[in-house]
Structure 1
Amino acid sequence: MLIVDDEVFVRKGLIRILGECSPQFEICGEAENGEQALTLIEQLNPELVIADIRMPVLDGLGLIKKVKTELEQQPIFIILSGYADFSYAQQAFRYNVSDYILKPVDEQELNAALNKIAQTLNQKQLLSITREKPLVETVIESLLQTQPDDQVMGRIAYALELPLTSSYTYLIAEMQDQLPAGEVDYLPALKDSLLHYLRQEDQTLLLHVRTHNQYGVILPGQWVDERDHSPWGGYRTMLDTLERELGTTIALFVGQKVSHLKQIVSSGESAEKSLQYRFAAGFEGIYMADELLELPLYYFDIDEGLHSKLIYEVEANDHKGYSSTVDAIFSMFQERHFAPGAVTNTIRRSMIAIINIIRQLEGDENTLQWMTELLNWPLKYRNLKQLKQVFQQFIAEAAEYIAEKRGGKSEGNIEKIKKYIDGHYRENIYLKGIAADFDMNPVYLGQLFRKTYGVYFNEYLLSLRIEEAKRLLRQTKKRMYEIAELVGFQNADYFATQFEKLENMTPTDYRNMMIGQ
């Protein structure tokens, strides 16, 4: 695609919009007038030109006229105009302009026009189909994007020696080799292995390269081995064969079966959706869209209690405890069918909490060997077992590092903290402030205090304040607001409420009872 407009801000705005809504087009150049555009069209041979109708030197209509009469290249044109002038539109359409869009550009209108043009370009490519590998891949990608008309479909079926009306399934094979995507080219070996397994070495295999270490293949129904009578058909045998011959872990994401080659786009969409279930339980490397798409995905975070428990156990360097909690978290991923985004959020949240602890101790999280591995896990670790292994390594390393930075002083510190509370409970103290003073995470401190003394920090602080208040009620004639302030309450009403909650009577009733006695 070439963009032609004399206003730079319009060009940049179009680039932004096109990047968001039309990934099927690549912007090959920009020009600020028709004369520059004419040169670029000769040099770059774009398939689509989006041009403003009013420009200096050579306007949009002049550009189209020169291209039509002087150049061998004949790209498709979309005209943009800030003028709602029907005469311009009439003239533009006389040159077979694909679309005429008024400024300011409506994103939905532009996206619809581009989708229509993409379909036209795809069909032009399909009409020139041969058995050469690049064009076979183009055929597959085009079939997965749109439903070609009957003429084009007939050509495809004839060239590939496939029946139009038959069962077809789109399958995604993902290489889970714990390497960055594309580091190993599995295409030749995968092609040979599939053809051998399907016993169709003399047929054209509809196989193409996808992103993220994935390969897609369109399987005609008669090619799939039906010897296994389980619901998974021959896919288990296929997976075992591919893993053995390619020497790596593989996952198969199997789309829903369709009854016509034209409908393969539907099978492809269901295979894409099944990728979202990669962390669901019980599928052992084979993810069938027929089984999965009825299951609701979970898009939220893990329970707050489980997250807090993990962070506490990391701070306490409790190997048995954090190992058990990691098991519970990953079981939850499987049982609740966590979407990949929800898994990512959970991992990121735990990492952020641990990094904050390390920084509070003036440590450097970048010294952790497993830090970078876990940060970049989506690029390398593509199943739950792999992710769990790297997460466990990070957790264990972080726990040891935190214990080392703290110098094993947690148990001694908790006694100092209790003495500090005993001496300062009349002041406006709170857990976060004390934790900061003692270089501890507040969640960890709260859990450690409860584990050591069998009571929550706030409960202990309140009990101290109420006991002192009772002494003042018995031994002095101070007013309620004075007593509240002396024992650390900023509000007399709140003091009275908390007193009554613990003693089952108001401060006044307590004082009167003491006087009566």
Structure 2
Amino acid sequence: MEGTENNLLKVLLVDDEPFIRKGLTALIDWEEEGYLIAGEACNGSHAIALLKEQNYDLIISDIRMPGMDGTELAEIVKSGEVSTAKFVFLSGFYEFEYAKSAIQSGCCDYVLKPIQKEELLHILRRIRNEIQKEAGGKRDKRICEKAYLDRNLLALLCGKYDEINLNYVRNRMGLRNEIKYIHVEISSRDDNFSVLPESKKREQHRKLYNYAGLLMKTYADHVMFDVAKLTDCYDIGIIYCNSMAKEKGMSDEEWLSWFLGELKERTGYVIAACAGSTVQQIEDLESSYRDSAMTRFLRFFKNNDEKMNLAAYKKKPTDKNAQEEYYRKELDALVHAIEIGDKIYIKENSGLLYHRMLDKSMDTRLMGMNLQYFLYRLLGLAYEMETGINQEEVMQYMQEAAFAVGSYEFSGRNFQKFAEDYSDYLQQLRQTSVKGMINSIEAEIEQNYADNLSLKTLGEKYYINSAYLGQIFKKQYGCSFKDYLNGVRIRKAAELLLRTEEKVYEIAEKVGYKNLEYFINKFEGIYGVTPTRFRKKTKQSFV
């Protein structure tokens, strides 16, 4: 059984006779049996010192030695204070009674002197199988625990968690303040990686995850595999806390540079990272995760994509020249038009804005800065909607858009088309989001307030339970649907009273009331006077 030094079982030989230790070393092919002689000691005290320096899997010890003998050493090992290694005595026939209690307790095996090769091999193979079986059970348990932890972490990252998820992560990881999510992936711009077949890419993806776990040591649980779940993305996620850097005497930036450098050296590929914003509690990890996701798409405009932080795109530029050519105000206006679906504004201004940015003789960096800000704002529009939005779908859409907007072939006409298409895309997303649904219902009430509107008819139209819709309405506006509808109707009636000379009963019917007395009562309830008095009093104030 051949293996690398990392997976061989480590053996500590303990005997006061050097020739015995050398004889044991030469007696069998230890590596062939899956072992490595990793240390030698002349007595129990010497062995304890070595056990404190590194972990061993097996201790083979003589019984009688000067100073601390084998039985005393076995008792200390049995207590688990310095080691959990298996123990084998080298026992002469007359020494057997001396070690009998330790041997019979089951904590030790023994090999009788003179040592026979076959007997030693038999014991070593049995112990190796025991260790591997125990390790397998522990490994399986660790895998299950890690999978459960990752599931709870993912719930936090997606904002779809409950107290059970929160408490499990809090108790398992003990996360304090100053935490953030860091997206790490093998760069899609690494030519050596991009030409690999899919099976090899997945193999390297797994190696990236394993290397990250080794580098993180006691923080290995903070590494997550394939979090983004995007096509052609081979990523891991890091739940970063500032103690990681502090323990190495580094700043956050220095730690990330060190971490990425180590991963690059071990994998042989360019490693890219996108850090989310720092948050103070684990409940806010979703915000950091979203920032990291947004940053990933903005990265397509940078020549060097190894590290990126979203904070740069949330701040106003400080350089005077950059301020002159940084079209934040104009881009914000275009984003607003896209949000509300103002196709006329988009048509008249988007292409012109694109050409103005180009005509300013902007260099690639400044042009990229404007486009990055634009995409960041657009992605934010989708993320600001309430739950129900498929974030992976939005990411994929924006990834394709980012490539298109950043390409050399892109034109003002295409920029306009992209703005129009994204506006339509947002409208589609709103149909699947609670906030979007409420906005649509609000617009419908504003337009069709005189119709026979009810929670039942609106619920049927928007495929939602009428009782649930009523709850959402109360939460959104602080009043019932009926009170909201009455408020809109009475406001419209007040406008008609001032703008027209129509009779009160005509206005009542026009805004949706068949019962005049009921209309007057509702009007008085809101304005404090009757419709007739309201018209007269208001008109007099303008004379």
Normalising by structure 2, we get a TM-score of 0.32
Computing the radius of gyration from Cα coordinates, the structure with the larger value is: 2
* Greater relative CO, 1 or 2 (CA 8 Å, sep 6+): 1
Normalising by structure 1, we get a TM-score of 0.33
